[in-house]
Amino acid sequence: MINYHPDSQLLTSYVSGELMTSFSCAVAIHLEKCPSCRHKAESFIEQKACHAFQFEESNGDSSEFDGMLNAILSDDGIDTPPINYLKEMEIGGEQFTLPRALSKLSFGKASSIGKISRSRAKLDEGSVRTSLMHIEAGGKVPQHTHKGYELTLVLSGKFKDESGEYSEGDFIFLEGKHKHQPVSVNGCLCMTIVSDSLHFTQGINKLLNPIGTYIY
Amino acid sequence: MATATRLFANTHEYAKALPMTLKSPPQDLEQLLLDVALKRDKNAFSQLFKLFAPKIKHHAQSKLGSQDAANDIVQETMTNVWRKAHLFNPNKGAVNTWVYTIMRNVTFDALRKIQSNREDVVSEDIWPLIDIETVKPMEEDHLSTNLLMKHINELSPEQQAVVKGIYFSGISQEQLAIHLDLPLGTVKSRLRLAMAKLKAIGAHL
Ligand SMILES: [Zn+2]
């Protein structure tokens, strides 16, 4: 049972393609596991599409595109349905098949401390760092504080902290000053996105693709 | 036998949400896109192109700022519509939404490239265009799909339309009969003949 979900604002930005890659992947993985959010996202995208493509009586002049149209039509080939290969990954001595959204990302070599192993995704998102975190059965993440925000998405297994228990698909977004101490009795694999940037941007803007926000 | 009402059930609902000034109702868009998918109809594509290209440019310009970058988005999005039309499944959503999805993916990859200079295309993994079964690494599968496509392309255009409609667009034989304006029996026999021919030329089905 999934108890923690991305909020509607996050889902809307997700369907519009405005989130940075790390958050887009995390929301995609949650949706794969969560029918109710999937349903919501579908209605959001219908609204977005409806808004982007309102065809009025007078459909302006499209002659500037004539050359483009001819170029497209001159090649009669079609694309075969893509085949998605899932990525296999070993972390913390266990073998995992990663969700489809992560299948083309590259990850660094895992580093371990005690029962905690982390492998960083190579995403170039500045102060925003994305990684896979594996907690071996009985493992404890030492108590820590975040200044920015932290997203934890459970990919498999369970963990708990002072505020509750989390299982596969749970999307736990924490921001501002908070302390917690995750513990996993039987082991788990999570995707985490952490920002400890001192330059705070408020609200949803901090999760958006910086180029997109820059231009707006 | 399916009726046109059932076939268009979801687009009717969708139409309610659209403004009254709508010139091209979603049913027409769907017919046009299916004509592109099943018959490679250039005239149908041109009509879709003229409707969508200016809107896509407007949207892309607000995202990317420059005219040139916006034109690239229009070109890539509409090329995808032309080359992937057979992957559109009218039972899964409206044409508007499908084109939006393609435009969003193309724009996302373009922004990502500007931002981090990365050439890898991840949008297709985040927002897959079709629900395909994901497979674990095995080169053979990829090869056999390419081979199958080669065989399908050897069929007559009429047979291709039936095979692509049933296996790629995922519509029913009844729906296909309505779209191609053929009796159901003809669709069924064309499909049977096409499958027999595929087997005969050595396709693994
Ligand atoms: Zn959810």
CA separation, residue B86 to residues B39, B58, B74, B82 (Å) = 10, 26, 20, 9
**Pairwise CB contact (< 8 Å): B116 & A102:** no
Q: What pLDDT score was predicted for residue B135?
A: 43
User: Could you tell me the pLDDT band of residue B205, with boundaries at 50, 70 and 90?
Assistant: low
CA separation, residue A133 to residues A164, A186, B15, B162 (Å) = 19, 14, 46, 48
Alpha-carbon dihedral A172, A173, A175, A179, rounded to 10 degrees: 10
Residue among B61, B74, B115, B168 with most chain A CBs within 10 A, to mutate: B115
Q: What is chain B's alpha carbon radius of gyration, rounded to the nearest angstrom?
A: 19
Q: Give buried/exposed letters for B151-187 (b at 16+ CB in 10 A, else e).
A: bbeebeeebbbbbbbbebbbbbbebbbbbbebeeeeb
Q: What pLDDT score was predicted for residue B145?
A: 67
Ligand 1 geometric centre to CA of B14 (Å): 24
In order of their start, the domains of chain A are 8-74 (no CATH), 88-215 (2.60.120.10)
pLDDT above 70: residue B158: yes
Tell me the chain A residues in contact with residue B101 when contact means C-beta distances shorter than 8 Å: 45, 49
Q: Are A151 and A192 in contact (CB under 8 A)?
A: yes
Q: Are B61 and B74 in contact (CB under 8 A)?
A: no
Tell me the chain B residues in contact with residue A215 when contact means C-beta distances shorter than 8 Å: 63-65
Neighbours of A105 (CB within 10 A): 19
Q: Supply the mean pLDDT for chain B.
A: 79
Q: What pLDDT score was predicted for residue A19?
A: 93
Closest C-alpha to A162, from A144, A181, A177, A178: A181
Residue among B126, B143, B147 with most chain A CBs within 10 A, to mutate: B126
Q: What pLDDT score was predicted for residue B54?
A: 93
Q: Which of residues 99-128 of A touch B (CB under 8 A)?
A: 100-105, 123-125
Of A48-57, B67-76, B92-101, the range with the lowest mean pLDDT is A48-57
Q: What pLDDT score was predicted for residue B174?
A: 86
Which of B49, B111, B118 lies closest to A212 in CB terms? B111
Q: Give buried/exposed letters for B57-80 (b at 16+ CB in 10 A, else e).
A: bebbbebbeeeebbbbbbbbbbbb
B133 Cα distance to chain centroid: 18
Give yes or no for B91 touching A (CB within 8 A): no
Task: Outline where DSSP puts E strands in A56-181.
Answer: 88-91, 94-97, 111-113, 116-120, 128-135, 139-140, 144-146, 149-161, 164-167, 171-175, 178-180
pLDDT above 80: residue B14: no
Q: What pLDDT score was predicted for residue A145?
A: 67
Strands A178-180 and A188-195, sheet pairing: unpaired
DSSP A44-72: HHHHHHHHHT---SS----GGGHHHHHHH
Averaged pLDDT for residues B115-131: 79
Helix (H) or strand (E) holding B4: helix B4-7
pLDDT above 90: residue B198: no
A208 DSSP 8-state letter: B
**Pairwise CB contact (< 8 Å): B53 & A65:** yes
Residue A111: both structure tokens together: 């580093």
pLDDT above 60: residue B140: no
Neighbours of B128 (CB within 10 A): 19
Q: What pLDDT score was predicted for residue A125?
A: 85
pLDDT above 50: residue B13: no
User: Could you tell me the pLDDT band of residue B56, with boundaries at 50, 70 and 90?
Assistant: very high
Separation of alpha carbons B196 and B27, rounded Å? 34
Give yes or no for A50 touching B (CB within 8 A): yes
Q: What proportion of chain B, given as a percentage, has pLDDT over 90? A: 39
**Pairwise CB contact (< 8 Å): B103 & A52:** yes
- Phi/psi of residue B100, each to 5°? -60, -45
Q: In chain A, which stretches have pLDDT less than 70? A: 56-60, 81-84, 144-146, 176-178, 197-216
Tell me the chain A residues in contact with residue B138 when contact means C-beta distances shorter than 8 Å: 85
Only one residue has tokens 């599968």, namely B141
Q: Which of residues 4-23 of A touch B (CB under 8 A)?
A: 15-17, 21
Averaged pLDDT for residues B71-80: 96
User: Could you tell me the pLDDT band of residue B199, with boundaries at 50, 70 and 90?
Assistant: confident
Give yes or no for B5 touching A (CB within 8 A): no
In order of their start, the domains of chain B are 3-126 (1.10.1740.10), 142-200 (1.10.10.10)
